[in-house]
């Protein structure tokens, strides 16, 4: 197993060698980019990454540019997890066959996807990846809404939210269903590690990401991602809004080991 | 290497599925991600068993749907290795989104498509609806008429798809049950000869080259999308056919078995010709020979490469005949039929005087009998004699009830 990167303070952490460029099209204040940077900076390991269709994908790999300085793949909205699972299978195959170009290096496989791509349309793909035991981490950028397409509800949207497809109105208070308990469902796949994180609690997040990258087998991470556009707050307030959510336990941080 | 080679007899008795599975073993596929569906299942079961018995090294990922199967294949191919899968019918329909993604991402995956009807009504038997459904998805498509060809065309498919000037995925079609489950003599290649023919996999833009990170599957809008699609089409139109021809030539040198972009049978002096695909080609050849004994100069043109479509080759093969039948084994659902349209397009600006009529047949595994084909050739001869199409342009063959004809 590779060595766990030592991170002393926020300054050092936030200035680690960046494999995710600040040059991207995400909204100012978007927590997606903060989460991705924290994940990538939490480790020195080589990374094979994917993103499912959604804000992260459409804002970071617009031809002829890319924000990614690690191998990265996007296929579609529902199948980013399986893209990485396929790459992981190829890694195993080439390792057995002695065809890896850098045989002494052991990359980690991480897929990023929105809550829509994870809780809804990609649910089955993720379930398959977790159940089959791929050595990979799936990270949900959970802004509790379909942000890329303009604010429709997902099954992560909490009760009482006003989404464009479950709007609050004269006779409705908005979304009527409770947020789906995705972490329990994933934990029920008997995976070694599932955790909920938030980028404002960066030390907790780094610890959990490092733990997740260190364990063998599939790992599921649900990361709260404050969305300035759909949650309608000032871009400078991403961290304070996030603190409100985590400190009030509206978005509790916890982990499920084994 | 840590796997055992297999001693094959010069001729083995294999059905199309096992022939394809053996080809996958001999190509030493690195990753197969697959999901079962009749009639293609035995292909991936075969690979799994070879893996379990130590005759191949690689990873078999039994996923939870065909969409995931192709998604896994795409991830594996982008990672940098030899990738294959198999499916049929509903499985292909579920996969279809990812087929466009695979080809647009220029990943050389080989898909064995065991042709089967598309529901509703649900049906497990052979027709070409699935093959037709994805004809514009940017994949190269080969068509095998029997188990031997299903075996051989797999090697050719890998060789062409993985060529760095091509980098496009390829489908090898075979008829569900009629080919996939019918055992026949198959002339084999030795493991070494087969592997040497396809060659070592040569990665390109491989995600697993950790010193050279790559981005796969980008976003393009009105600024670049068209250029990407145009480039892909250009490569299919210009680059792929010569590569296929070169692979056919090299394969002939190796095996003595000759493949052609369109397969002509008794076409040199033919007055009337049937154009078809799959197992029907073999039936049509037998009937053409019978018709010649009765004085009708009958020929057959089999489509070997459906995509890229052999526009020039078809025109060349058919230009001197008097009457042509295009046989479509897929319901056109409100149009004239794919082969009818493609052939009409290929001939339209030529000097040919050939008459073209279309036939829809064999849906859901309905037999195309020799009797059907005899009648069909007689109709073509009547057209040729009359100098005009004497029937309606589109007729259904072998369907119960009053005769169905349109246009
Ligand atoms: C198969 C398919 N269905 C629908 C879409 C349209 N679509 C693209 S992104 C998206 C919403 C993404 O929401 P989420 O996964 O939560 O990511 P976010 O943009 O919020 O980060 C939708 C509906 C698509 N691209 N593909
Ligand atoms: S809409 Fe929301 S999730 Fe999307 S880029 Fe903007 S802030 Fe980020
Ligand atoms: Mg979202």
| Mean pLDDT along residues B99-109 | 98
Residue B218 has pLDDT above 90, yes or no: yes
The pLDDT score that the predictor gives to residue A8 is 85
User: Which domains, and CATH codes, for chain A?
Assistant: 18-149+188-257 (3.40.50.970)
- Quick: pLDDT tens for B30-68: 999 999 999 999 999 999 999 999 999 999 999 999 999
Give the tokens for residue B192: 């070494």
* Strand residue runs (E) in B148-188: 170-175, 184-187
Q: Closest Cα of chain B to A153: distance in Å?
A: 24
**CA-CA-CA-CA torsion sign (B73, B74, B79, B83):** positive
Query: Is the Cβ–Cβ distance between B186 and B26 less than 8 Å?
Result: no
A127 touches chain B (CB under 8 A): yes
Angle at A78 between CA A76 and CA A79, to 5 degrees: 70
Burial of A189 (0-12, 13-18, 19+ CB in 10 A): middle
Do the chains contact at B57 and A85, CB–CB below 8 Å? no
The confidence band for A159, taking pLDDT boundaries of 50, 70 and 90, is: very high
8 Å CB contact of A100 and B59: no
Q: What is the ipTM of this complex?
A: 0.97
Residues of chain B neighbouring A78 (CB-CB closer than 8 A): 67
Separation CA A72–CA A166 (nearest Å): 34
Q: Which two tokens stand for residue B121?
A: 């009504």
What residues are neighbours of ligand 3 (ion), with CB under 5 Å? A 114-115, 143, 147
User: What mean pLDDT is reported for chain B?
Assistant: 97
Tokens of B241: 């056919």
Residue B152 exposure: Cα atoms within 13 Å on the Cβ side: 26
User: Which residues in chain B are contacts of A69 at CB distance < 8 A?
Assistant: 213
User: From atom 6 of ligand 2, which residue's Cα is the shortest distance away?
Assistant: A27
Q: What is the spatial distance between Cα B198 and Cα B162, in angstroms, rounded to a whole number?
A: 9
Q: Are residues A128 and B210, on separate chains, in Cβ contact within 8 Å?
A: no
HSE at residue A77, side-chain half, CA atoms within 13 A, is: 12
Q: What is the pLDDT of residue A2?
A: 67
Residue span(s) of chain B under CATH 3.40.50.920 come to 262-406
Q: Is the CB of residue B60 less than 8 Å from the CB of residue B189?
A: no
pLDDT of residue B77: 98
In this complex, is the C-beta atom of A78 within 8 Å of any C-beta atom belonging to chain B?
yes
A148 phi and psi, to 5 degrees? -60, -30
User: What CA–CA distance (Å, rounded) separates A178 from B143?
Assistant: 52
Instruction: Give this prediction's pTM.
Output: 0.98
pLDDT at B1 (0 to 100): 52
Query: What's the rounded mean pLDDT across residues A15-44?
Result: 93
Q: pLDDT exceeding 70 applies to what percent of chain A?
A: 99
Q: Which residue has the tokens 């603190």?
A: A243
- CB within 6 Å of ligand 1 — which residues? A 53-56, 76-77, 114-117, 141, 143, 145-149, 154
A111, A118, B110 from A182: Cα distances, Å: 16, 9, 35
Indicate whether residue A58 lines ligand 2 (CB < 6 A). no
d(CA B380, CA B239): 36
Which of chain B's residues have a Cβ under 8 Å away from the Cβ of A93? 30-31, 57-59, 76, 81
Topology of the domain comprising B262-406: Rossmann fold (3.40.50)
Counting one residue from chain A and one from chain B, the pairs whose CB atoms sit within 8 A come to 172
> What band does A17 get if pLDDT is binned at 50, 70 and 90?
confident
Q: Is A143 in the pocket of ligand 2 (CB under 6 A)?
A: yes
Q: How confident is the model at residue A13 (pLDDT cuts 50, 70, 90)?
A: confident
Tally the residues of chain B.
407
Residue A42, both tokens: 């939490």
Q: In whole angstroms, what is the distance from residue B218 CA to residue A113 CA?
A: 15
Phi, psi for A176 (deg, rounded to 5):
-100, -15
The two three-digit tokens of residue A202, written as one number: 């960066």
Please state the rounded mean pLDDT for residues A130-154. 98
Residues listed for chain A: 258
Residue B56 tokens read as 């191949």
Q: Hey, what are B168's tokens?
A: 């496009």
pLDDT in tens, B226-237: 999 999 999 999
Torsion angle in degrees (nearest 10) through CA of A229, A232, A234, A239: -90
Give the confidence band of A57 by pLDDT, cuts at 50, 70, 90: very high
d(CA B86, CA B75) in angstroms, rounded, equals 16
Q: Are A68 and A61 in contact (CB under 8 A)?
A: yes
pLDDT at site A7: 87
Spell out which residues of chain A touch residue B231, defining contact as CB-CB under 8 Å: none
φ, ψ at B295 (rounded to 5°): 90, 5
Give the chain B residue nearest A90 (alpha carbons): B76
Mean pLDDT of all residues in B239-259:
98
Q: Looking at the partner chain, which of B101, B213, B218 has a beta carbon nearest the beta carbon of A69?
A: B213
Contacts of B306 (CB under 8 A, 6+ apart): B131, B135, B141, B142, B143, B173, B277
> Where along chain B do the CATH 3.40.50.970 domains lie?
11-255
Q: Are A126 and A140 in contact (CB under 8 A)?
A: no
CA-CA distance, A136 to B72, in Å (whole number)? 13
Condensed to tens digits (0 to 9), the pLDDT of residues B132-181 reads: 999 999 999 999 999 999 999 999 999 999 999 999 999 999 999 999 99
Residue A16 in this model has a pLDDT that exceeds 80: no
Question: What is the Cα–Cα distance from B8 to B191, expressed in whole angstroms?
Answer: 8
Chain B contact for A73 (CB, 8 A cutoff)? yes
Options 3.90.1150.10, 3.40.50.2300, 3.10.180.10, 3.40.50.970; which CATH number does B11-255 get?
3.40.50.970
Separation of CA A53 and ligand 1 centre (Å): 6
For residue A55, give the ligand 2 atom closest to its CA: 4
Q: What is the pLDDT of residue A1?
A: 52
| CA nearest neighbour of B282 among B302, B262, B297 | B302
* C-beta atoms of A90 and B215 within 8 A: no
Asked if B63 lies within 8 A of A128 by C-beta distance, the reply is: yes
Residue labelled with tokens 């009807």: B117
B219·A63 Cβ contact <8 A = yes
Contact call for residues B151 and B129 (beta carbons, < 8 A): no
């Amino acid at each position: 197993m590779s060595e766990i990167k030592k991170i002393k303070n926020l300054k050092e952490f936030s200035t680690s060698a960046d494999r995710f460029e600040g040059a991207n099209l995400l909204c100012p204040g978007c927590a997606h980019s903060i989460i991705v940077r924290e994940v990538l900076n939490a480790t020195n390991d080589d990374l094979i990454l994917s993103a499912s269709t959604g804000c992260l994908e459409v804002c970071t790999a617009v031809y002829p540019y890319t924000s990614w300085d690690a191998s990265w793949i996007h296929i579609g909205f529902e199948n980013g997890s399986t893209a990485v699972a396929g790459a992981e299978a190829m890694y195993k195959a080439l390792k057995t066959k002695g065809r890896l170009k850098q045989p002494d290096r052991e990359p980690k496989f991480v897929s990023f996807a929105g809550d829509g791509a994870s809780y809804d349309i990609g649910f089955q793909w993720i379930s398959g990846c977790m159940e089959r035991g791929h050595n990979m981490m799936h990270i949900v950028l959970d802004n509790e809404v379909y942000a890329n397409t303009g604010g429709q509800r997902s099954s992560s949207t909490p009760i009482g939210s006003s989404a464009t497809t479950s709007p609050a109105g004269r006779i409705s208070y908005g979304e009527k269903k409770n947020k789906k308990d995705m972490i329990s469902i994933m934990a029920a796949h008997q995976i070694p590690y599932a955790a909920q994180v938030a980028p404002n609690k960066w030390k907790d997040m780094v610890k959990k990401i490092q733990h997740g990258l260190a364990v063998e087998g599939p790992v599921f991470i649900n990361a709260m991602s404050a969305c300035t556009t759909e949650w309608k707050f000032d871009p400078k307030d991403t961290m304070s809004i996030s603190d409100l959510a985590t400190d009030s336990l509206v978005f509790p941080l916890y982990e499920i080991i084994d | 290497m840590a796997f055992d080679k297999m001693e094959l007899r010069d001729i083995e008795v294999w059905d199309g599925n096992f022939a394809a599975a053996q080809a996958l073993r001999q190509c030493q596929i690195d990753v197969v991600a697959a999901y079962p569906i009749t009639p293609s299942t035995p292909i991936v079961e075969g690979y799994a068993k070879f893996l379990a018995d130590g005759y191949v090294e690689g990873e078999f990922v039994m996923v939870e749907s065909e969409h995931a199967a192709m998604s896994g294949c795409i991830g594996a191919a982008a990672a940098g290795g030899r990738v294959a899968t198999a499916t049929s019918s509903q499985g292909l329909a579920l996969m279809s989104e990812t087929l466009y993604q695979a080809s647009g991402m220029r990943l050389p995956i080989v898909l064995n498509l065991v042709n089967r009807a598309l529901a509703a009504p649900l049906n497990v038997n052979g027709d070409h609806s699935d093959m037709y459904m994805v004809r514009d998805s940017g994949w190269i498509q080969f068509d095998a008429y029997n188990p031997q060809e299903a075996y051989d065309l797999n090697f050719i498919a890998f060789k062409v798809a993985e060529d760095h000037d091509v980098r496009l995925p390829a489908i090898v079609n075979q008829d569900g049950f009629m080919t996939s489950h019918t055992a026949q003599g198959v002339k084999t290649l030795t493991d070494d000869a087969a592997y040497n023919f396809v060659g070592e996999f040569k990665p390109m833009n491989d995600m697993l080259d950790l010193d050279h990170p790559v981005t796969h599957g980008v976003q393009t809008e009105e600024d670049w999308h068209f250029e990407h699609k145009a480039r892909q089409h250009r490569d299919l139109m210009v680059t792929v056919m010569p590569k296929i021809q070169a692979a056919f030539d090299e394969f002939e040198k190796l095996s003595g078995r000759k493949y052609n972009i369109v397969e002509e049978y008794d076409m040199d002096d033919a007055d009337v010709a049937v154009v078809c695909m799959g197992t029907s080609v073999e039936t049509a050849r037998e009937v053409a020979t019978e018709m010649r004994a009765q004085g009708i100069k009958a020929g057959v043109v089999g489509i070997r490469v459906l995509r890229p479509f052999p526009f020039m080759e078809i025109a060349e093969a058919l230009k001197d005949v008097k009457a042509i039948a295009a046989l479509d084994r897929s319901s056109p659902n409100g149009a004239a039929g794919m082969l009818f349209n493609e052939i009409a397009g290929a001939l339209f600006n030529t000097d040919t005087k050939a008459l073209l009529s279309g036939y829809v047949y064999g849906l859901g595994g309905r037999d195309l009998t020799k009797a059907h084909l005899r009648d069909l050739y007689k109709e073509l001869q009547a057209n040729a004699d009359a100098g005009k199409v004497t029937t309606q342009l589109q007729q259904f063959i072998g369907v119960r009830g009053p005769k169905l004809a349109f246009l």
